[in-house]
Structure 1
C-alpha cells in the first residue's frame, strides 16, 4: 500500500479553497465519491457533481474579504487528519455554507472549527467540519437569550490563547 503525505494533500486542497479559489482545482484533490458535510448546518455535497455546485455557488464565491483561518493544531493518522482552526470574518456577504438563508448582518464572527478529513488513494475521501453554530448565531445577533449557556467570540479567543497542553478547569 502506497503512503501519502496527508498534510501536503490537505494543504493543497485548502489552498484551492482559500488562497487561490478554484472549483476544478479543489475537486481535483478529491475522490470521485468524496463528500463534504458541514455538520452544524448540513451543507456540502456528495460526489463531484454535487460538490461542484457547492464549491461553485455556496462556498468559494461566498467568503467575506476579511475571512481568515488560523491554524491551532493538527493530528495526522494513517489515513485521516484532524485540523483545529479558528475562523474569523465579518458577515458582509451571504454565506450559505455557514449561515444558510441568513442575510448579511455586518457583524463580526470568530469561532473555533474542527475538520476531520479522511483520504483514500492520495485523494480526499470525506471532510466533516464541526463548529458551534449557537456561538455563530449569538455573534450575528440572532440568538439573544442571555439565559442560555452560549458564548460568542470569547470561545475562539480561549482556543487561541491557552497553551495546547493546558486544560480548562
Structure 2
C-alpha cells in the first residue's frame, strides 16, 4: 500500500468519525452535513428508516434523530476495517430506552430499560480529484442493528408477537 492510499484511508476514517460524533455526541447536524455527498444516504437499517439527499437528511437528523437521542447513549468500538472507499466499525451500543426512538425503533414506546446491543456502521465514500487535490465525500452512512436482539433485551418482542397474533 502506498503512503498516498494510507493517507486517503486516514482521511475517510476522520470524516466518518466527525460525522458520527457530530450526530450522536454533539447533536450538530450542520457539521455532519458538511462532509456528505449531495445524494448521500443516511440510514438506520434495524428500523428501516433514514433519508437520502442533504435536505432530507437534515430534516431526518433534526426531527427524528438528534432530539430523540438517549442521554446516556454510548458507542464502544470493537473493531475497525477500512479501505479506500469504505470504513466499517463493529460497535457495542449502550443506552437507556427512556424516550421514543423514531430513528431506531419507530412506534416502540420507552421501556426504561438499559441495553447493550451489537451494531455495525458502514461509511462509503466517493473521491474526486481536481488538479491533484483529492476531495472525499460520504455517499452513504448506514448503521445496522441486531433488531431482534434489541427488541428482546427491551422486553417488547413478546408483546409485539402477541399484538400480531
User: Above 0.5 in TM-score?
Assistant: yes
CA distance in structure 1 between the partners assigned to 2:72 and 2:39 by the alignment: 32
Residues 3-56 of structure 1: per-residue CA shift (max 9 Å, x gap)? 631111111111211232111111111111100122221111000111011100
Quote the residue 1:106 is aligned against: 112
- Report the count of equivalent residues: 145
CA distance in structure 2 between the partners assigned to 1:144 and 1:99 by the alignment: 15
Q: Secondary structure of 1:128's match?
A: strand
TM-score normalised by structure 1 residue count: 0.80
Is 1:97 paired with 2:103? yes
More strand by share: 2
CA distance in structure 2 between the partners assigned to 1:144 and 1:43 by the alignment: 23
Q: Secondary structure of 2:109's match?
A: coil
Residues 77-106 of structure 1: per-residue CA shift (max 9 Å, x gap)? 111111111110010011111110111110
In structure 1, runs of 5+ residues without a counterpart are 146-169
Quote the residue 1:136 is aligned against: 150
Displacement after TM superposition at 1:69 (Å): 0.6
More helix by share: 2
Is 1:80 paired with 2:94? no
Displacement after TM superposition at 1:68 (Å): 0.6
Quote the residue 1:127 is aligned against: 141
CA distance in structure 2 between the partners assigned to 1:18 and 1:37 by the alignment: 13
In structure 2, runs of 5+ residues without a counterpart are 128-135, 160-165
Is 1:35 paired with 2:71? no
How big is the alpha-carbon RMSD for the aligned residues of Structure 1 and Structure 2?
Answer: 1.8
CA distance in structure 2 between the partners assigned to 1:13 and 1:127 by the alignment: 9
CA distance in structure 2 between the partners assigned to 1:82 and 1:91 by the alignment: 25
Residues 112-138 of structure 1: per-residue CA shift (max 9 Å, x gap)? 100111011311100222111011111
